[in-house]
Structure 1
Amino acid sequence: MLIKSVPSAGAPLDLLLEADPSLDAIKHYLERSICCVATVGEETVGAYVIQPLGDDVYELMNIAVAPAHQRKGIGVRLLDHAIATAREAGARRLELGTGTFSYQLTFYQRAGFRVVAVERDYFLTHYDEPIYENGIQHQDRLRLALEF
């Protein structure tokens, strides 16, 4: 598997939509971000997007693995690459936002991220359509951070 940076115009939108259902939001944050894709041969199997927020802080805006390639360690390798990329860019902290339940929260916590804030009603006010996972509607968003 190869992970490489691509210009925002080359970002795999269909894949990024797996993790964020808002195409408008994705297009907005891609403009100021670093996008990296994971490929196996000619196939794009994963991607992530990080964005500088300011003094020594970056945010993981999106990380996604193609459904046919999930549960093979690709997400862990992408997250490790995103952390290394942020560090190399001079970040001292990497932040992200995620739902309050499901496997994503555990995934980030395994990598050392810790909850630093709760944004009440985030998914209710920032998305036009409700987002459900395992029959439960996402409402609040957790902010997590990893200090370097």
Structure 2
Amino acid sequence: MLRINEVPPSEAPMELLLVADPSEDAIKRYLNQARCFIAYSRGAIAGVCVVKPIARGTLELMNIAVSPSIQQNGIGTRLLQHVIEKVKESGARRLEVGTGTFGHQLTFYQRQGFRVEHISKDFFLKNYPEPIIENGVQHKDMLRLSLEFPDDNSHQRTI
């Protein structure tokens, strides 16, 4: 049984946020303006997701992480789906995320309907003091993806 609650940013578990973003300084910069969601399984924290407003009607998914020992069990997917619903309920029209140009996280977002918008060249080289290596390859560029929430009346045509 998975339970997901929105919590104040001060309750976000830093050690879990660091699983997805290795920069504590970066996390501290976005955390206070964000909405935080925690997934609990069997009474323990299983995952965390952080989104923050970046423009009117647009939020950015800043961080999503699942405890390493219980990854690949659908917790991240359920957490992201819950956050997408909450963001839509709040009236947002768009959710954006930045991720590496390769790896499992790119597929994770694409399965939920996110589409590539553009590439931020050298993002990880310019913004992280230590190289971020995945499967023996260094992340250099960031892909920016977005998920649009169509207006419920978008199927109607105005004549």
TM range (shorter): over 0.9
Q: Partner of 1:33 in structure 2?
A: 34
The more displaced of 95-104 and 37-46 is 37-46
Residue 155 of structure 2 aligns with which residue?
none
Separation of aligned partners in 1, 2:26 and 2:7 = 18
Report the structure number with the largest CA radius of gyration.
2
- Once the two structures are superposed, residues 86-107 of structure 1 have per-residue CA deviations (whole angstroms, 9 ceiling, x without a partner) of 1111110000000000010011
**Residue equivalent to 1:143:** 144
d(CA) in 1 for partners of 2:70 and 2:120?
31
Equivalent-residue separation in structure 1 for 2:8 and 2:58 (angstroms): 21
State the match for 1:86 in structure 2.
87
Deviation of 1:42 (Å): 2.3
Normalised by the size of structure 2, how large is the TM-score? 0.91
Unaligned stretches of 5+ in structure 1? Answer: none
Q: Separation in 1 of the partners of 2:65 and 2:41?
A: 15
CA distance in 1 between counterparts of 2:116 and 2:26 reads 23
* In the alignment, structure 1 residue 24 sits paired with structure 2 residue 18: no
> Kindly, what percent of the aligned residue pairs are identical?
55
Q: CA deviation at 1:8?
A: 1.0
For residues 117 and 89 of structure 1, what CA distance do their matches in structure 2 show?
26
Counterpart residue type for residue 135 of structure 1? G
Q: Which aligned pairs between 1:1-148 and structure 2 lie closer than 5 A?
A: 1-148=2-149
What is the TM-score of this pair, normalised by structure 1?
Answer: 0.98
Shift of 1:85: 1.5
Q: What 5-or-longer segments of structure 2 have no aligned partner?
A: 150-159
What do residues 88-131 of structure 1 show as CA deviations (whole Å, max 9, x unaligned)?
Answer: 11110000000000010011111110000100000000001110
Q: CA RMSD in A?
A: 0.7
SS at match of 2:20: coil
Letter in 2 for 1:15: L
User: Once the two structures are superposed, what CA deviation does each residue of 1:52-105 show, in whole Å capped at 9, x if it has no partner?
Assistant: 111110100000000111011001001101111111111100000000000100
Count matched residues.
Answer: 148
Secondary structure of the structure 2 residue equivalent to 1:17: helix
